[in-house]
Amino acid sequence: MKRLMIMAFAVFMLPLMSLAQFSVSGKISDKSANILSGATVKLNGKTTKTNTDGNYRFTNVKAGNYMLTLSYVGYQSLKKSINLSADQKLDFELSPSTFLADEVIVRATRASEKSPTTYKNIGKTELEQNNFGQDLPFILNNTPGVVVTSDAGAGVGYTGIRIRGSDASRVNVTINGIPYNDSESQGTYWVNMPDFASSVDNIQLQRGVGTSTNGAGAFGGSLNIQTASPSENTYAELNNTFGSFNTLKNTLKIGTGLINNIWSFDGRLSRIKSDGFIDRAASDLQSYFLSGAYHGKSDLLRVNIFAGKEQTYQAWNGVPESRLNGNTAEMQAYIDRNYLEEADAQHLLTSNSRTYNSFTYRDQNDNYKQAHYQAIYARQLNDQLSFNAALHYTNGEGYFEEYKNKDRLSKYGLPNIIQGGVTINRSNLVRRRWLDNDFYGTTFALNYNPQSTVNFTLGGAYNEYRGKHFGQITWAEYASTGDNFRHYYDGIGNKDDFNIYGKINYSPVEKLTLFGDVQYRRVNYDISGTDKNLKTLAFNNKYDFFNPKFGATYSLNEQSNIYTSFSVANKEPNRDDFTNIKTGLLPKSESLNNVELGYRFKNQDFNIGANVYGMFYKDQLIFTGEINEFADAYRQNVDKSYRAGLELDASYTISTKFAINANAALSKNKIKDYVDYVSEYDDNGDVVNLLTTNYKNPDISFSPASVLFGELIYKPLTGFAVAFQSKYVSKQYMDNTQNSSRQLDAYWVNNARLGYDFAFKGVKNLNLGLLVNNLFNKMYESNGYTYSYAYQGTVTAENFYFPQAGTNFLLSLNIKF
C-alpha cells in the first residue's frame, strides 16, 4: 500500500514537475575578477545582457536541456550545456581573446545601448534568414520606417529604399567605416554589389542624423555595415535559390578559419539572374568577395577586395496610368498627346496592364562594373587606447544604352545632312551615356577609455572622387559627321571631402550618461566640361559644415533607459542640382536640426523601443515642377519643412515555440510654404507661361503617414520555423501638391517564410528555405512619378507607376560543410 501511494503521488506530481519553471542566473567576470558589464548571454532562443554588476538572470524557464552561450567583445566566447530541473546559479570567467576582434573597425561610428540615438541592429542570423537573393533594401524591409521598391517588381535589379520618407541620397552608407554613397548623386546602387548581404556580418541602421560618420550627410538615416568576421574553423558553403520569374542565385563561400590563431582567408563567388516581373526587366548580376586577415593579440590587419558587375534591362520609365487602369480611351489620348509612333502605340494598347515596359529595343541595357579595395589596420595600444585606420580605392565604369527615335542631330553637335536636295535634321540612333570614376582616400579613429565612466573618440576621413561623364553614338541611320568613338559631350566632376569628429561619453553618476559629438566637414566640389545637353558647366563649390550633436541617457533600472538628443546635419547639393538648374541659378546647401526622445526596455523575453522625433529642415531641396530650358526638372530650396513622428519597435518571445516581432512608424511630413509650377506651351512647343499655385503645409512627396510591420514566428520542431509577415504602407503623394489624383494608394502585403535546419554526417548544416512574397496577391504600386504641363489653358498631369509582383516565391537550399 505504501509503495502504491508513493507511485500515485509521483504520477500526480509528474505533470506539475513538467510545468515547473526555474531560473538561471549568475555573474560574468574575467580571469582577473573584473566585472564584464554588457556581456551577451543566450539561453537557446532567449537573450539578455549582464548589468553593471556583471549579473545576468533568466526566469520562467521550463525544465529541460539548454545551451548557454556567453560572449563579450575582446574575450573568447563560451558555451555550456545545462540540464535544468531546479534553479541554477552559474558564474563564469571569460578569457581574453587571443586576437583583436573585427568589431573595433566600426566601433567609432556605431551607437551603443547607452547612446541617445535611435537605431536598430540586424545580426548575421537575421540577414541569413531573409537572404534569398533580393537586393539588400528588401532584406531591411522589416525595420521601422523603411519602405522599399523595385523597378523590375520583384526585388532583383534596381531597387530603392526610403527611411523616414527620405530617399537613398539622404541615407549615409558606410562599409567598415568607409563611405559607399556615390559622391556626386549621393545615392546608393545595390545592383552594383549583388548578393553583398552574403558577406555581411551585421548592420546598424540609425534613424535620423545619428552619430557622426564618414561620407554623405545623414538626412533620413544611416546604414553602418560590417563585413564578415573570421570563422574559427574551416568551412565551405553552397547557397542556391530558384524562384518565380526564372530567378536564380548561386553562391559559393569558403574560408580557412583561423590558421595558427593568426591568419584567416575568406571568399565568396555569386551570380544572380532574373527575368523580373516587368516585361524585359531582366538582370544578369555577378559578384565576388575576398578577404584576408592577420590577427594579432593587439593588432589586426585586414584586406578586402570585392566587386560586382551588372547588366540590367531598363525598366525605369514605369507604367502610364492609362495602361495601368486599362482604359482604352485614355490610352489613345496618351498616344495622341505624346505623338507615339504606330508600333509604340500598338505596344501600349496590347501589353499587360501591370507588366508593360515602354522599352522594346533589344539592347536597352544598363551595364556597370565596380571594384572595391580596402586595407584596414587596428591596434589595441593598451587597455585604455585603441586605433584603427583604413586605405580604400573604388573604381567604377559603365554605361546605359538607349534607342532614340528621330532625334535631332543638333542635340549631338552634328550638322544636318542634305540628300537629294532634302535637308535631314533628325535620325534614328543608338546612344550610350558613360560614367568612369575613381574614389579613394583614408579613414581613421582613435578611441581612449581612461576609466569606466569616460570614453573619447577622435575620428575622420579624407576622400577624393574623380568622375568622367561622356556620351557616344554607337549607331545612327544618318551618321552625319560623327563616328562610334566620338564623345558628343564630356563632363568632369571632382570632389574632395574632409571631415574630423570628436565624441565623448561621460557618466557623472552611475545611471546617467552624457554624450557630445562635434564634426567639421569641408567639401570642395568642382563641375566642368559639357553636359548631356551640350551646355557648358563651370561650378566651383566650397562648403564648410559644422555638425554638433549632444544628448543624455538615463538608466531607469537594469533593463530600461530613456534618452534624448539634439543633432545638426548639413548636406551639399548633388550633381543634378547644378547641371539641371536654370542657367544663372545656384542651389544652396541644406541643413537639418534633429530632436530625438526615446525609451528602451529589454529583458530575456521582451524588448521594446519607443521614440518620438522631429526633423526640421532649412533649405531642403525638392522638386517643384519647374523645368530648365532643356525641359529637365530640377530641385529648388524651400525655406522650411519638417518631419515629425512616433516609432515603436518590439519583440516578445512568448514561449519556446512562439515569438512576435512588430514595429510602427507614424509621422507628419510637411512643407510650410510650397509653390508649384506648371509650364504652359504654345503650338511650337515653346514655353510661353509659368502657372503657379501656392500651398500651405502640404505633405512632402513619398512620405507615408503610417508604416506598420508585424511578424509571427512558430517553431513546432527543433530546426523548423515558420514566419508570417505583414507590412502596411499608407498612401503617398508623388508630388508636393497633396493631390489625390497623383498618389500611390495604401497597400498591405503579406509574406510567409519557412526554414528547416538539420545536419548529418559530413554536413554541418543543411537549410531548406521558402519565401512566399505577396501571399494574397495584392495588386499594388510602391513607387511612381508625375509631371504636369499646360496647353491652351488646360493642365494635363502624366502619372507613371511601378507595379510590384503578385504572389511569387523563392526556394533556397543552403549547405554548410
CA separation for the pair 513, 248 (Å, rounded): 49
* Mean pLDDT in residue range 290-306: 94
pLDDT of residue 7: 41
- For residues 352 and 357, what is the distance between their CA atoms, to the nearest angstrom? 9
pLDDT tens column, 583-615:
889 999 999 999 999 999 998 889 999 999 999
Flag whether pLDDT at 11 surpasses 50.
Answer: no
Name every residue whose Cβ is closer than 8 Å to that of residue 211 and which is 6 or more positions away in sequence: 109, 110, 111, 115, 117, 503, 517, 549
Instruction: Provide the residue ranges of all domains of the chain, joining segments of one domain with +.
Output: 22-96, 235-318+357-816
Cα separations in angstroms, 74 against 53, 71, 175, 246, 788 = 19, 9, 21, 45, 59
Q: What is the pTM of this model?
A: 0.89
Spatial contact of 147 and 169, defined as CB atoms under 8 Å apart? no
22-96 against 235-318+357-816: fold identical: no
What is 22-96's CATH topology? Immunoglobulin-like (2.60.40)
Residues 670-693 have pLDDT tens digits of 999 999 999 999 988 889 999 999
β pairing state of 171-175 and 178-179: antiparallel
Per-residue pLDDT at 229 = 86
pLDDT (mean) for 170-180: 96
Residue 162 near residue 220, CB atoms below 8 Å? yes
The DSSP H or E segment spanning 16 is helix 2-19
Cell 538539420 sits at which residue? 758
The two beta strands, 487-509 and 512-530, are antiparallel
Q: How far apart are CA 215 and CA 608, in angstroms?
A: 31
Identify the pLDDT of residue 63.
85
Which pLDDT tens digit goes with each residue over 420-438? 889 999 999 999 999 999 9
Q: Comparing 60-74, 245-259, 702-716, 759-773, which segment has the lowest mean pLDDT?
A: 60-74
Predicted pLDDT of residue 99: 67
- Ranked by mean pLDDT, the top range of 50-54, 76-80, 228-232, 337-341 is 337-341
Using CA atoms, how far apart are residues 688 and 681, in angstroms rounded to an integer?
A: 6
Helix (H, G, I), strand (E, B) or coil at 41: strand
pLDDT tens for 516-566 read 999 999 999 999 999 999 999 999 999 999 999 999 999 999 899 999 999
Q: Does pLDDT of 8 surpass 60?
A: no
Share of the chain above pLDDT 70, in %: 97
Q: What is the pLDDT of residues 39-79, one digit of tens each?
A: 888 887 677 878 767 888 888 788 888 888 888 766 777 88
In the predicted model, what is the mean pLDDT of the chain?
92
pLDDT at 479: 80
Query: What's the confidence (pLDDT) of residue 52?
Result: 66
- The confidence band for 142, taking pLDDT boundaries of 50, 70 and 90, is very high
Q: Tell me the pLDDT band of 623, cut-offs 50, 70 and 90.
A: very high
Question: Is the per-residue pLDDT at 416 higher than 90?
Answer: yes
Per-residue pLDDT tens over the stretch 742-769: 999 999 999 999 999 998 888 999 999 9
Closest C-alpha among 110, 42, 33, 108 to residue 72 = 42
Q: What is the pLDDT of residue 240?
A: 96
Sheet of 78-84: strand order equals 46-49, 40-43, 64-71, 78-84
Q: DSSP string covering 334-348, please?
A: HHHHTT--HHHHHHH
- Over residues 621-644, the mean pLDDT reads 95
pLDDT above 50: residue 135: yes
**CA distances to 70, 71, 83, 262 from 77, in Å:** 6, 5, 20, 17
Q: What is the DSSP letter of 459?
A: E
Tell whether the model's pLDDT for residue 10 goes beyond 60: no
Closest by alpha carbon to 281, among 317, 249, 315?
A: 315
- Report phi then psi at 778, rounded to 5: -70, 130
Return the DSSP state at 12. H
Q: What are phi and psi of 339, to 5 degrees?
A: 55, 45
The contacts of residue 421 (CB under 8 Å, 6+ apart) are none
pLDDT of residue 83: 87
Reported as half-sphere exposure (CB side, CA atoms, 13 A), residue 773 has a value of: 22
Q: What is the largest CA-CA distance in the chain?
A: 124
Please check whether residue 241 is in contact with residue 132, taking contact to mean a CB–CB distance below 8 angstroms. yes
Cα–Cα distance measured from residue 650 to residue 207, given in angstroms and rounded to the nearest whole number: 16
Spatial strand order of the sheet with 119-122 comes to 119-122, 200-207, 221-227, 171-175, 178-179
Per-residue confidence at 272, pLDDT binned at 50, 70, 90?
very high
**Which residues have a Cβ under 8 Å from the Cβ of 338 and sit 6 or more positions away?**
none
Mean pLDDT of 250-272: 95
**Pair 701, 733: CB distance under 8 Å:** yes
Q: So what's the pLDDT on residue 105?
A: 86
**Contact indicator for 575, 435 with CB cutoff of 8 Å:** no
Q: Phi then psi for 170, rounded to 5 degrees?
A: -110, 10
pLDDT for the residue 73: 65
Share of the chain above pLDDT 90, in %: 78
**What whole-number distance in Å separates Cα of residue 68 and Cα of residue 51?**
17
Q: Which residues contact 81 (CB under 8 A, 6 or more apart)?
A: 65, 66, 67, 68
Residues counted in the chain? 817
Predicted local distance difference test score (pLDDT) of residue 20: 62
37: buried, middle or exposed (CB in 10 Å: 19+, 13-18, 0-12)? Answer: middle
Distance CA 748, CA 726 (A): 7
For residue 198, is it left (φ>0), alpha (ψ between -120 and 50) or beta? Answer: alpha
SS (H, E, C) 177-245: CEECCCCCCCCCCHHHCCCHHHHEEEEEEEECCCCCCCCCCCCCEEEEEEECCCCCCCEEEEEEEEEHH
Under CATH, to which class is 235-318+357-816 assigned? mainly beta
Confidence label for 113 from pLDDT (cuts 50, 70 and 90): confident
Can you give the pLDDT at residue 508?
93
Half-sphere exposure of 550 (CA within 13 A, CB side): 5
Residue 557 Cα distances to 204, 510, 533, 551, 603, angstroms: 25, 11, 63, 19, 11
pLDDT digits (tens, 9 = 90+) for 361-408: 999 999 999 999 999 999 999 888 999 999 999 999 999 999 999 999
Contact (CB, 8 A) for 518 and 548 = yes
Q: What is the dihedral of CA 146, 151, 157, 163, to 10 degrees?
A: -20
Cβ neighbours of 419 (radius 10 Å)? 8
pLDDT at 674: 97
Judge whether residue 646 has pLDDT over 80: yes
Q: What is the pLDDT of residue 5?
A: 42
Q: Which helix (H) or strand (E) holds 331?
A: helix 328-337
